[in-house]
Chain A
Amino acid sequence: MIPAGWFLSLGLLLFVLGIIAFFVKRDLLTQFLSIEVMLGAGNLAFLALARGPAKVEAQVIVFFVMTVAAAEAAVGMAIILLVHRRRRSIKTEDLRTLKG
């Protein structure tokens, strides 16, 4: 059996990669994808730390987090589409009408 520490390390690696991608990438869609990677990393960490019969509750949480991710995706895609329709671009550097 693969030890839990390996899964946790993989989760941590994915999480850090997600953060890096969020700051390096410059368009809404890819940044949103990197957030999804981070949420997946959180799920993996939950599963790694919930191994054992007494910790079923943490495995249930993963389903909740997936639902949250799906809801975020639905609203997020609509917003990204709206931005694209108004500006013909989803680059974050074009989002600068609001500043002060």
Chain B
Amino acid sequence: MSVFPALGPLLAIAAGALAVILAEAFFKRENKDHLAFLSLAVLLVSGWLAVRLWGRNAEAFGGTLRFDDAAVFLTLLLLAGTAFVVLMGMRHIVRQRMNDGEFYGLLLLAAAGLVIMVSSGNFVAVFLGLEVLSVSSYALAGLKRGDERSTEAAAKYFLIGSFAAAFIVFGLALLFGGSGTLELTEIAAAGTIPLLALAGLALVLGGFAFKLALVPFHMWQPDVYEGAPTPVTAFFAFGPKAAGFLVLLRLLLPYWQSGFKKEAVFSVLWAVAAATMLVSSLAALRQRNVKRMLAYSSIAHAGYLLIAVLSKDASGLLFYLANYLFLSMGAFGVLAALGRDGVERTNLEDFAGLGARFPWMGGLFAVFVFGLAGFPPTGGFLAKFYVFSAAVREGHTALVLIAVLSSLISVYYYLRVVVFMYMRRSEGEEAAVDFENPPLLLVLFLCLYGVLQLGIFPSYILTFVRRAAESLF
């Protein structure tokens, strides 16, 4: 069988990324919109090629590249997320004086890394995808070169990210020595020298905990999210987490069946999930910067996603990620709309009176933070409900109690922004929303639509989610 069907989405996006970078290098133009449209076209083509792989279980290179339904589903989510970020960035990079076409090229390269991660059957290919993503992400975080905060974010991200990569490499070596295979679905469960494989698994999980910012390895994330340009932060909040958790699920599903010392690994991850939810929610309470607060909120959401991994709930994980795409992109999109020339307005005080001055924008932001907190009728409620009920069915009631407690704490800090928007008068210079930004408004509209569609009429998407989840078992 030809390799091209399975290779298609990846080939399109990688070639597109290189084309965008070359176009930036050779056709110096002040207006970079043509690069944005090229990127959107590339994402569209790649998405179309991915849709055609649905239900076909296409493989290439002896199973190293494997597009099962879960990979197709997540690829589509990731491409949609990247398209949202491109649209969000079109005006933003001009207004924030970082008008470099590299934004689009690096974004597409990072998206290629994400697609490699979700569609690989071999752990080394997953690692390479992770590094393609990470190296582009370091550069993306530091894209606003004249800004001290952006460079600081890039430096921190780079240092912690490559430290974690070294852990993953060493752990992979030990896993390979212990199990004699590099297949993602076999590596953790097979064990000719179980103790060596266990040590390797511990190092790999530690590396992933760094990359996914699980407590106690989360300290870098608020700094990076705060310093990076807002559209880039939106990308960080969704892409790496979605791909990383699918990899964790693929790695651990067979391991929960027959792994060596699986109870010990389970209880360590149980504790990590509990700590991730509680620590991040408590830390978010004392943030005065909304972008930083959303960074802690994304750590908390990683904790909820880890519950889905622990309770083998593939469909819950995929549905949660579909929701989280719209919620996080929407929330960061409103933040991006508040920026002015060269300055990002992300403090809590900047939101004061926003609801009265810009009712539409305030209402949108309220919908997104209510969704993140898990209120009906948004999709955030259903997503949490599915994950928690699956965990209760598996008997992890204590973990669910901690998760509910953390959600309750989170309601306080989400509501505080809403209170600022509707019940405070702004003092000093008022933050203004620039409505001459059609691409961003399009993103916000699509996110609103997605949140409500998944919350009120979820059955359509749920059939796809269930089929995608079945392909993982």
Is chain A's interface secondary structure helix, strand, loop, or mixed overall? Answer: helix
Residues of A within 8 A of B135 (CB): 68, 71-72, 75
Knowing A22-B163, A38-B170, the reply to whether A64 touches B176 (Cβ < 8 A) is no
Q: A46-B173, A86-B151 are in contact. Are A38 and B138 (CB under 8 A)?
A: no
Neighbour of B138 across the interface among A31, A46, A75, A99, CB < 8 A = A75
A71-B135, A97-B149 known; A31+B169 contact, CB < 8 A: no
B124 touches A39 (CB 8 A): no
| Complex contact B223–A99 (CB within 8 A) | yes
**Chain B, residue nearest A94 (CB):** B152
Q: How far is the CB of A88 from chain B (nearest CB, A)?
A: 12
Q: Chain A residues with Cβ under 8 A from B176's Cβ?
A: 46, 49-50, 58
Q: Which of B48-56, B68-76, B287-295 makes up part of the contact surface?
A: B287-295
Known pairs A68-B127, A71-B135, A97-B148 / 7 extra A-B pairs, C-beta < 8 Å:
A39-B165, A41-B170, A43-B169, A58-B182, A64-B127, A98-B156, A100-B287
Per the bound structure, the CA–CA distance linking A83 and B138 in Å amounts to 13
Give the distance to chain B from A89, nearest Cβ to Cβ, in Å.
12
Whole-angstrom distance between the Cβ of A36 and the nearest chain B Cβ: 8
**Contact between chains at A75 and B139 (CB < 8 Å):** yes
Q: Which residues on A sit within 8 Å (CB–CB) of B151?
A: 79, 82-83, 86
- Residues in B neighbouring A76, C-beta threshold 8 A: 138, 158, 162
Return the chain A residue nearest B131 by Cβ.
A68
Which residue of B138, B152, B167, B292 is within 8 Å of A100 (Cβ)? Answer: B292
Chain A residues with CB under 8 A of B167:
38
| Interface set, chain B 121-170, CB cutoff 8 A to A | 124, 127-128, 131, 135, 138-139, 142, 145, 148-149, 151-156, 158-159, 162-163, 165-167, 169-170
Q: Cβ of A15: which chain B residues have Cβ within 8 Å of it?
A: 166, 170
Closest 10 CB pairs of A and B: A49-B177, A42-B169, A38-B166, A45-B173, A42-B170, A98-B223, A46-B173, A68-B131, A79-B154, A35-B162
A interface residue count range (under 10 / 10 to 19 / 20 to 34 / 35 or more): 35 or more
Q: Is the CB of A64 within 8 A of B124?
A: yes
Contact A83 B165 (CB under 8 A): no
CB distance from A40 to the nearest CB of B (A): 9
Q: Are A28 and B131 in contact (CB under 8 A)?
A: no
What is the CB-to-nearest-CB distance from A74 to chain B, in angstroms, rounded to a whole number?
A: 8
Would you call B226 and A45 a contact (CB within 8 A)? Answer: no
Query: Known contacts A72-B165, A75-B138: does B152 contact A98 (CB below 8 Å)?
Result: yes
Task: Say yes or no: is B231 at the interface (Cβ < 8 Å to chain A).
Answer: no
Q: Is A95 an interface residue (CB 8 A)?
A: yes
Which chain A residues lie closer than 8 Å to B152 at the CB level? 83, 95, 97-98
CA distance A79 to B127 in the complex (A): 22
Count B interface residues, CB 8 Å.
Answer: 42
Main secondary structure of the interface of B (DSSP, over half): helix
7 interchain pairs, CB-CB under 8 A? A28-B159, A49-B176, A58-B173, A68-B128, A72-B162, A79-B151, A97-B148
- The answer, yes or no, to whether B174 is at the interface (CB within 8 Å) is yes
Contact between B159 and A100, CB atoms less than 8 A apart: no
Q: Which residues of B contact A (CB under 8 A)?
A: 124, 127-128, 131, 135, 138-139, 142, 145, 148-149, 151-156, 158-159, 162-163, 165-167, 169-170, 172-174, 176-177, 180, 182, 222-223, 226-227, 286-289, 292
| Nearest chain B residue, comparing its CB with the CB of A14 | B170
Contact B166 A18, beta carbon cutoff 8 Å: yes
Which of A32, A35, A39, A100 contacts B288, CB < 8 Å?
Answer: A100
Asked if A57 CB lies within 8 Å of chain B CBs, one says yes
B422 CB → nearest A CB, Å: 24
Our pick among B124, B153, B158 for the contact of A61 (Cβ within 8 Å) is B124
Within 8 A of B (CB), among A62-88: 64-65, 68, 71-72, 75-76, 78-80, 82-83, 86-87
Query: Which of chain A's residues have a CB closer than 8 A to the CB of B287?
Result: 100
Given contacts A45-B177, A100-B222, A100-B289, contact A80 B128 (CB under 8 A): no
Which of chain A's residues has its CB closest to B296's CB? A100
Which of chain A's residues have a CB closer than 8 A to the CB of B173? 11, 42-43, 45-46, 49, 58
Q: How far is the CA of A83 from the CA of B292 in the complex (A)?
A: 22
Residue among B176, B222, B288 with the highest chain A CB neighbour number at 10 A: B176
Contact of B172 among A42, A82, A97 (CB under 8 A): A42
A28's partner among B155, B170, B172 (CB-CB below 8 A) is B155
Known: A45-B174, A95-B155. A39 touches B139 (CB 8 A): no
**Bound CA–CA A32/B166 (angstroms):** 11
Question: Is A98 in contact with B226, judged by CB distance below 8 angstroms?
Answer: yes
